[in-house]
Structure 1
């Protein structure tokens, strides 16, 4: 699982990443990345709404996403905030397709210029 040092917990961090960060989406998930200037570890948060499924399904999707991010958190710049929001297709997605969607979204977010132009 993803270490607690990398877990986002505060609502204002979620809001900042979603409102001011860049966004990249796939069918099963959407990722929001806000690159900060501070020298802190990157923080990752997960949003899995009721549209994804009942509590058991939502928790399974969160566990899968946390496991996938554990191997990818080193790719994020220091001080960054990443929110991964699961879409309803994530409930029935295999781990391999969820991992592929996450990799594509992260690759898109990390290759974009940081000067605000898309």
Structure 2
């Protein structure tokens, strides 16, 4: 479980990260990343009804959270990440989601 300090919870933060962040698209997700300096890295998740019903959306959100929790030590500090789940993420396995997020974060780090 992500600690409170590692979660994006404010709607204004979601909007700012989505608009200003570097964007990486994958088959199952879209990542938006903004560097924030020395603050702890934070993750936010957008899982809309297009992904599926409430049970499916919550399962996708839990998988995304678990993937981000495992990647948190490698990410370091100073990044805000918003992950938008695409409808295909409902059928994706956890390992697939984790590898896509890791590749996306890695490609953004290489571009910076």
TM-score > 0.5 by shorter chain: yes
- Whichever structure has more strand as a proportion of its residues is 2
- Equivalences for residues 1-118 of structure 1 within 5 A: 1-37=1-37, 39-113=38-112
CA deviations on 1:64-116 (whole Å, 9 max, x unpaired) are 01011001122335332100110001000011211121111111111112xxx
For the residue of structure 1 that corresponds to 2:39, the secondary structure is coil
Q: Report the Cα distance in structure 1 between the residues aligned to 2:85 and 2:6, rounded to whole angstroms.
A: 19
Q: Report the Cα distance in structure 2 between the residues aligned to 1:99 and 1:77, rounded to whole angstroms.
A: 17
For the residue of structure 1 that corresponds to 2:36, the secondary structure is coil
Gaps of 5+ in 2: none
Provide the aligned C-alpha RMSD in A: 1.2
- Whichever structure has more helix as a proportion of its residues is 2
Q: Report the Cα distance in structure 2 between the residues aligned to 1:102 and 1:72, rounded to whole angstroms.
A: 9
**TM-score (structure 1 length as normaliser):** 0.88
Runs of 4+ aligned structure 1 residues displaced above 6 Å come to none
**TM-score (structure 2 length as normaliser):** 0.93
Gaps of 5+ in 1: 114-118
C-alpha contact (below 8 Å) 1:61/1:90 kept by paired residues: yes
Q: Report the Cα distance in structure 1 between the residues aligned to 2:16 and 2:73, rounded to whole angstroms.
A: 21
Q: Report the Cα distance in structure 2 between the residues aligned to 1:14 and 1:21, rounded to whole angstroms.
A: 10
